[in-house]
Amino acid sequence: MAKKLIVANWKMNGSIAKIEHDLSVYKTNALTNSPNVVFALPMPYLYQTIDLGAGFGVACQDISQFCGFGAYTGEISAAMLLEFNVKYTLVGHSERRAAIGEDNSLLAKKLENLISVGITPILCIGEPRSIRDSGKYQGFLIDQLSLLTSLNVEVLELVIAYEPIWAIGTGKTPTIEEITEIVNLIHSFVQKTSAHAKILVLYGGSVTGKNIADILHIPEIAGVLVGGASLKVDEFTAICTEA
Ligand code: PEP
């Protein structure tokens, strides 16, 4: 059975000293040489992550909508990330959708750029609490997924992370049945709209050392996206050990 994918999203946290410390602890415990354990650290620390990585996967938290090289001050392209052996990049995290107003047409460009250079996007989708309570969450998520049908790519291969916004950083998680319902929804949408696509589905939102085992037992779940708990060495070790 393939190992589960564990993606650590450090968001805008960390420092040279913290990365050096945390990764050296992970290197001395059972996590060494675990390409399924992937660190999405802030961009300035990319080189350090690779240097100290000891076989971990490297991801970015975002990517430019523009491709290649050129006059786009402040932007970082997918082509640049290739030089750093970046395997995955988050796209459309709810914090970026909310704070920066990223929408489907912008996210489609990012997905196309990544796929064209061979970096696997991790597309984040998830509904706010009000939409969950209204019962209209399936339609909301399908709308977020619909950008996949507009992509101009030869082969559609990506990771989709279901991250209900109300579960992010709150300590509240959906029930196993609720996660299962959405995992199945994602698979059936992709099957119907792009039969040849290859996808993996992750869950994210308040994953901890305590709930990880139950989450990883969900059929068709390929792993988890971990925010807050990935900043705590003991907690993250416990999560990775389950995978
Ligand atoms: C996230 O923001 O991607 C996330 C999963 O956060 P947390 O684990 O802290 O809920």
**Which amino acid appears at position 53 of this protein?**
G
Q: Give residue 30's pLDDT.
A: 64
The model's pTM? 0.96
Summarised one tens digit per residue, pLDDT across range 87-138 is 999 999 999 999 999 999 999 999 999 999 999 999 999 999 999 999 999 9
Q: Which residues surround ligand 1 with Cβ inside 6 Å? A: 9, 163, 168-169, 204-207, 225-229
Cα–ligand 1 centroid distance for 69 (angstroms)? 31
Output phi, psi for 89, to 5 deg: -145, 130
Distance CA 1, CA 97 (A): 34
Q: What angle do CA 23, 29, 35 make, to 5 degrees?
A: 65
Q: Among all chains, which residue has been given the structure tokens 């119907």?
A: 192
Task: Tell me: pLDDT of 21 over 80.
Answer: yes
Q: Is 127 labeled as catalytic in the residue annotation?
A: no
Contacts of 83 (CB under 8 A, 6+ apart): none
Averaged pLDDT score across all residues of the chain: 94
H-only helix segments in the chain: 16-28, 46-52, 78-82, 94-100, 104-117, 129-134, 137-145, 176-193, 212-216, 233-242
Q: Give residue 54's pLDDT.
A: 65
Summarised one tens digit per residue, pLDDT across range 46-68 is 888 776 666 889 999 999 999 99
Task: Tell me: pLDDT of 139 over 90.
Answer: yes
Read off the pLDDT of each residue in 151-166 and give the average, rounded to a whole number.
95
Q: Among all chains, which residue has been given the structure tokens 């968001």?
A: 11
Task: Tell me: pLDDT of 151 over 90.
Answer: yes
Distance CA 30, CA 56 (A): 12
Q: Give residue 104's pLDDT.
A: 96
Q: Please identify, by atom number, the ligand 1 atom nearest to the C-alpha of residue 161.
A: 3
Residue ID of nearest Cα to ligand 1 atom 1? 227
Cα–ligand 1 centroid distance for 9 (angstroms)? 7
**Which amino acid appears at position 75 of this protein?**
E
CB 162 within 8 A of CB 203: yes
Q: Give residue 26's pLDDT.
A: 87
Distance CA 145, CA 94 (A): 14
Read off the pLDDT of each residue in 219-239 and give the average, rounded to a whole number.
96
Read off the pLDDT of each residue in 220-225 and give the average, rounded to a whole number.
96
Q: Is 196 labeled as catalytic in the residue annotation?
A: no
Distance CA 145, CA 139 (A): 10
Q: Give residue 51's pLDDT.
A: 67
pLDDT band with cut points at 50, 70 and 90 for residue 1: low
Summarised one tens digit per residue, pLDDT across range 160-184 is 999 999 999 999 999 999 999 999 9
Q: Give residue 56's pLDDT.
A: 86
Q: Give residue 243's pLDDT.
A: 83
Q: Of 10, 96, 179, 206, which is best to mutate to test ligand 1, by the most ligand atoms within 8 angstroms of its C-beta?
A: 206
Which has the closest alpha carbon to 163: 92, 70, 239, 216?
Answer: 92
Q: Give residue 28's pLDDT.
A: 80
